[in-house]
Chains A and B, each alone.
Chain A
Amino acid sequence: MEEQSLSQRLHIDFPLLSGIIILCLIGLVILYSAGGQDIDLVYRQAIKLSIALIGMIIVAQLPPAVLERWSLWLFIFGVVLLLLVIFFGDVGKGAQRWLDLGIFRFQPSEIMKLTVPMMVASYLADKSLPPKFSWVVIVCILITIPVLLIAKQPDLGTSLLVATAGFSVLFIAGISWRLLMSMGILAAAGAPILWYFMHDYQKQRVLTLLNPEQDPLGAGYHIIQSKIAIGSGGFYGKGWLNGTQSHLEFLPERSTDFIFAVFCEEFGMIGVLLLLCVYLFIISRGLYIAINAQNTYGRLLASGLTLTFFVYIFVNMGMVTGQLPVVGVPLPLISHGGTSMVTLMIGFGILMAIHTHRRFLSF
């Protein structure tokens, strides 16, 4: 047996950890400004971050084999919770997402962001890749069930992310390009049929989603204000605490989904480049872990989680800069809020587990 490194004994991947901590610090700094210089808000968020970090380290201690064995049960557990939400859930902001557990409320849909890729990875892990057609069909069904349940709540943003998490695993597993294309065509062909069956008010919502400027009182207001904030920031930004758009309270949801606009206004293009560098560092570390994982399960899951992490970033930035519809996806590890952050951290914990629990054989 070789001597194990510190990283392997503690089951912590230090490059990943340092990237995450840098992001969290950036998040706290910008939250102080976005939240109207409320130090209590920053303090509370820091506590949540610390709890989430501890959760990450705990998850990192679990050997990936255990995760693989538990995948199916966690998946079933998550689906049952989603059904419970539909029948007994609390209504918050007009949508039914929360389950009240007495002590705290949480969103079962968050769990699915992890359990769906875990399920898909464990299903494909013992098969020979690239996957056969029939396996792809089964994977699609596995993904669709929770996605539909979440979309029904209705929570379009999360259901999209869960679908992404599942399909990115399938993509990495090497699903053939032809199959991928035909699925794309099928989805494109299904859209008009779905459109036909929608109520007028639902159609109106979709149209607003696609063209927010049409709706200057709703989603359009967010986009207009956020573009003004970003554009007026310029290349160097207005400087920390000097963003006028956010401080004069023009920008709605500035400490949550639209925090990127505040960041742009105060730190400018140069800040964005630095932020993207940190994100890219984390992503490339995640993909590195994926490629170097010891078994198929680890490779699939690590890459699925990393790709989902990127989709978060892309959807949020795309939406804040007015390129994508406003679907309510937070900027990972920067936006204020607890639930999605915990999920992300646990995801990183899984990445660390995959990387640090290595089994060696000496010959």
Chain B
Amino acid sequence: MVKEITLKDSEHETGVIAKRVYFAGFVILFLVIIIILRVFYLTVLQHDHFTTLSKSNRVKITPIPPIRGLIYSREGVVLAENKPTFSLEVIPEQIDDVENIIKQLKAIISIEDKDIERFKKALKKQRRFENVALRYNLNEEEVALFAVNRHRFPGVDVVAGLNRFYPLGEKLVHTIGYVGRIDEDDVKQLNASNYSGTSHIGKLGIEKSYESLLHGEVGYQQVEVNAQGRVIRVLSRTPPKPGENLNLTIDLSLQQIAIDALKDKRGAIVAMDPVNGDILTFVSSPGYDPNKFVNGIDSKSYKALLSSKDKPLINRVIRGKYPPGSTIKPFLGMVALDSGVRQFHDESWCPGWYSLKGHEHRYRDWKKQGHGHTDLHKAITQSCDVYFYILAYELGIDRIFEGLSQFGFGKESGIDIDGEAKGLLPSQEWKRKALGQAWYPGETLIMGIGQGYALSTPLQLAKATASLANRGDVVRPRLVSSTSNSITSDIITLPVIHEDKVAINEKDHWDNIIKSMRDVVHGAGGTAWRSGLNTEYEFAGKTGTAQVIGIAQDKEYKKEEIAEEFQDHALFIAFAPVEAPRIAVAIIVENGGGGSKAAAPIARKIFDEFMKNETDTETKG
């Protein structure tokens, strides 16, 4: 007899398994019948229908890429447009010997090795019946040469397309960004069929963050083709929906003034309308030419940009992190008044330095001989450091953190482009987590003059200044105010976004601080008095100087002894006009020295132009 070797309750188990196997067999039969019925439906019942389709199946569907939306400045000047261009494209399916075709094409059109390399890479990824570009930007002569020889190259064709172009080049590169060829990372993110005819995608700035609006929706056409797949005629066409045009809030005349002011310097300038958050000026200097990136920058130029010590690729407005320096003082003043630690007229004595009880270390004032008796008004207009050491110490880091975060320090501003840095508003908790250390009182002290750990971006400073000008109304900055549709001409105005208000309701506090900032410019002894001379309007501001390197206790900062890259950053925040603010600015000139000399005059120039334009429109209106 034959018997299997098993040690367990085999009878029962075999039964369980056999039952299931039979059951599975029935399911399989059932599913096979479904397939048979489906094939029967298609081949017998629908046979005539599909035969008709197959006979007329000389029809292919090809995508029509949408036209990318244009970008306009506030005045309606085109900042990003589409220029016609020709590329040489290949349908892989229709070519037997790629190497041979390339060799023959090389004889009439210049094709570089890097083109071939990129082409072969694309060839592997794309579907065999889709076009792959071999060369971009053919000139007219090359187009003509190919046209004459076209019969020799079935499966190869010149395709007309549009290329993104930025007429103002580097002036707005940090704002608008640029488009570039779709790469592997993009492919993972995008909707493949909506991009089936598209070669470029927004990589940076507005081009990136508004990609979905700018791109539009792909259309397609049914075309009749001959046996080689060449298009004979178009049968039907579903037109693409072009991308939306964007209207920016950037004011080109102000932008130009800011660019000129930072010529050959490193720095950033942001101007913003405090009422609606419109960014009027957005300059990060130096810039670079975005047009080089559209069809791929060559590695030599890219390396040059990367290694330049001016770091042109960094968007300083949203990614530059600077110590706010004395520009933090008006905000701290607000926090102190609100908490009741200080009344506006309370005085401190400033002998030119301050020491914590029981400590040797002297925290020095910028004015060696001291400011004497100082109240908050004087401490702001003359930027007394000692007053703010004491004030900060009495407030304590917790209240400082609480108060300043209401003005947006340490948080993204929420502007409508990606990549914003948060800056750093230190707190006890932050220090414990990041450095694993307790908070020291001395660190609170230097928070009073915006030094130490505190870092903010120029955009954060501008937003905080706007919130101050607004007396607590926090408006989110924006670069796009409306979109318009090029077919329907519908204009969609984007909403102004108001964030949580600064929770300080006492009107006197706002009045006092704003008055002090006015007197920085227009008052006696104000640090920016030179910039306030002979104006037809009044503006309010605060200078700042941010230390780049620490200075030893017994040494003094001597400008001429220090290399340029270690000199202080000049800062200035301001808004105008004082009574009903319509523009707020934050200016940072890297290694520019003192804020009053290097930064405040730029604000004056911007305000002059802005106020001139305002009166012009008012008289016109």
A contact set with B: CB distance below 8 Å: 91-94, 126, 128-130, 168, 171-174, 201, 204-205, 208, 215-218, 221, 225, 227-235, 244-245, 248-250, 252, 264, 268-269, 272-273, 276, 280, 283-284, 287, 290-291, 294-296, 299-300, 303, 307, 310, 314, 317-318, 321, 323, 359-363
Tell whether A248 pairs with B227 under 8 Å between CB atoms, given A230-B50, A235-B47.
yes
Q: Could you say which of A201, A229, A248, A360 contacts B191, with CB atoms under 8 Å apart?
A: A201
Is the C-beta of B5 less than 8 angstroms from some C-beta in chain A?
yes
A-B contact pairs, 6 of them (CB 8 A): A218-B196, A252-B128, A280-B32, A291-B17, A299-B14, A362-B2
Which of the 9-residue segments B181-189, B282-290, B341-349, B462-470 touches chain A? B181-189
Query: How distant is B187 from chain A, measured CB to nearest CB, in Å?
Result: 6
Query: How distant is A1 from chain B, measured CB to nearest CB, in Å?
Result: 11
List chain B residues, Cβ under 8 A from A130: 16
Is the C-beta of B557 less than 8 angstroms from some C-beta in chain A?
no
In contact, B44 and A234 (Cβ under 8 angstroms): yes
Docked CA distance A273–B35 (Å): 10
Is the C-beta of B439 less than 8 angstroms from some C-beta in chain A?
no
Chain B, residue nearest A268 (CB): B43
List chain A residues, Cβ under 8 A from B227: 248
Q: Could you say which of A208, A216, A252, A276 contacts B129, with CB atoms under 8 Å apart?
A: A252
Could you tell me how many residues of chain B have their Cβ less than 8 Å away from some Cβ of chain A? 63
In contact, A314 and B20 (Cβ under 8 angstroms): no
Chain B, residue nearest A94 (CB): B187
Docked CA distance A248–B55 (Å): 11
Which of the 9-residue segments B23-31, B376-384, B471-479, B504-512 touches chain A? B23-31
Is the C-beta of B551 less than 8 angstroms from some C-beta in chain A?
no
In contact, B61 and A231 (Cβ under 8 angstroms): no
SS of B interface (majority): helix
In contact, A287 and B43 (Cβ under 8 angstroms): no
In contact, B61 and A359 (Cβ under 8 angstroms): no
Docked CA distance A290–B192 (Å): 44
In contact, A230 and B220 (Cβ under 8 angstroms): no
In contact, B191 and A276 (Cβ under 8 angstroms): no
Tell whether A128 pairs with B9 under 8 Å between CB atoms, given A215-B193, A228-B54, A249-B129.
yes
Docked CA distance A321–B21 (Å): 28
Is the C-beta of B229 less than 8 angstroms from some C-beta in chain A?
yes
Is the C-beta of B6 less than 8 angstroms from some C-beta in chain A?
yes
Is the C-beta of B367 less than 8 angstroms from some C-beta in chain A?
no
Tell whether A244 pairs with B61 under 8 Å between CB atoms, given A94-B187, A307-B24, A321-B42.
no
In contact, B47 and A321 (Cβ under 8 angstroms): no
Query: How distant is B211 from chain A, measured CB to nearest CB, in Å?
Result: 12
In contact, B24 and A303 (Cβ under 8 angstroms): yes
In contact, A231 and B229 (Cβ under 8 angstroms): no
Query: How distant is A260 from chain B, measured CB to nearest CB, in Å?
Result: 9
Chain B, residue nearest A265 (CB): B54
In contact, B42 and A221 (Cβ under 8 angstroms): no
Tell whether A218 pairs with B35 under 8 Å between CB atoms, given A232-B54, A235-B43, A249-B129.
no
List chain B residues, Cβ under 8 A from A201: 189-191
In contact, A249 and B229 (Cβ under 8 angstroms): yes
Docked CA distance A201–B60 (Å): 26
Is the C-beta of B168 less than 8 angstroms from some C-beta in chain A?
no
List chain A residues, Cβ under 8 A from B38: 318, 321, 323
In contact, A172 and B25 (Cβ under 8 angstroms): no
Docked CA distance A231–B39 (Å): 8
In contact, A230 and B196 (Cβ under 8 angstroms): no
Chain B, residue nearest A300 (CB): B17
Docked CA distance A359–B47 (Å): 55
Is the C-beta of B618 less than 8 angstroms from some C-beta in chain A?
no
In contact, B184 and A94 (Cβ under 8 angstroms): yes
In contact, A234 and B43 (Cβ under 8 angstroms): yes
In contact, A227 and B5 (Cβ under 8 angstroms): no
Q: Could you say which of A205, A233, A284, A314 contacts B31, with CB atoms under 8 Å apart?
A: A314
List chain B residues, Cβ under 8 A from A361: 2-3, 5
Docked CA distance A228–B20 (Å): 38
Q: Could you say which of A129, A218, A248 contacts B192, with CB atoms under 8 Å apart?
A: A218
Q: Could you say which of B21, B50, B125, B192 contacts A287, with CB atoms under 8 Å apart?
A: B21
Tell whether A249 pairs with B43 under 8 Å between CB atoms, given A130-B16, A201-B189, A303-B24.
no
In contact, A230 and B43 (Cβ under 8 angstroms): yes
In contact, B9 and A295 (Cβ under 8 angstroms): no
Is the C-beta of B58 less than 8 angstroms from some C-beta in chain A?
yes
Docked CA distance A317–B37 (Å): 12
Chain B, residue nearest A214 (CB): B193
Query: How distant is A128 from chain B, measured CB to nearest CB, in Å?
Result: 6
Docked CA distance A296–B51 (Å): 52
Is the C-beta of B300 less than 8 angstroms from some C-beta in chain A?
no
Q: Could you say which of A231, A249, A280, A296 contacts B93, with CB atoms under 8 Å apart?
A: A249
Query: How distant is B39 from chain A, measured CB to nearest CB, in Å?
Result: 5
Query: How distant is B210 from chain A, measured CB to nearest CB, in Å?
Result: 15
For the complex with contacts A295-B4, A303-B17, 13 further pairs of A-B residues with Cβ separation under 8 Å are A171-B20, A172-B24, A201-B189, A205-B191, A264-B39, A272-B39, A276-B36, A296-B13, A303-B24, A307-B24, A314-B35, A323-B34, A361-B5
List chain B residues, Cβ under 8 A from A221: 61
Docked CA distance A307–B22 (Å): 12
List chain A residues, Cβ under 8 A from B19: 174
In contact, A272 and B36 (Cβ under 8 angstroms): yes
Chain A, residue nearest B1 (CB): A363
List chain A residues, Cβ under 8 A from B12: 129
Is the C-beta of B8 less than 8 angstroms from some C-beta in chain A?
yes
Is the C-beta of B46 less than 8 angstroms from some C-beta in chain A?
yes
In contact, A232 and B229 (Cβ under 8 angstroms): no
Is the C-beta of B605 less than 8 angstroms from some C-beta in chain A?
no
Is the C-beta of B237 less than 8 angstroms from some C-beta in chain A?
no
Query: How distant is A94 from chain B, measured CB to nearest CB, in Å?
Result: 6
In contact, A269 and B43 (Cβ under 8 angstroms): yes
Chain A, residue nearest B2 (CB): A360
Query: How distant is B91 from chain A, measured CB to nearest CB, in Å?
Result: 10
Residues of chain B from 63 to 106 with CB closer than 8 A to chain A in the complex = 63, 93-94
Chain A, residue nearest B19 (CB): A174
Q: Could you say which of B25, B32, B47, B128 contacts A231, with CB atoms under 8 Å apart?
A: B47
Closest CB pairs A-B (n = 8): A231-B50, A232-B54, A174-B16, A218-B193, A231-B42, A269-B43, A232-B50, A217-B193
Most B CB atoms within 10 A — which of A129, A231, A296, A363?
A231
Docked CA distance A201–B193 (Å): 11
Residues of chain B from 307 to 322 with CB closer than 8 A to chain A in the complex = none
Query: How distant is B51 from chain A, measured CB to nearest CB, in Å?
Result: 5
Chain A, residue nearest B54 (CB): A232
Chain A, residue nearest B59 (CB): A250
Docked CA distance A94–B186 (Å): 11
Tell whether A217 pairs with B1 under 8 Å between CB atoms, given A249-B93, A321-B39.
no
In contact, A128 and B13 (Cβ under 8 angstroms): yes
Q: Could you say which of A172, A323, A360 contacts B20, with CB atoms under 8 Å apart?
A: A172
Docked CA distance A72–B44 (Å): 50
List chain B residues, Cβ under 8 A from A291: 17-18, 21
Chain B, residue nearest A92 (CB): B124
Docked CA distance A174–B46 (Å): 42
In contact, B191 and A230 (Cβ under 8 angstroms): no
Chain A, residue nearest B192 (CB): A218
List chain A residues, Cβ under 8 A from B63: 217
List chain B residues, Cβ under 8 A from A252: 127-129
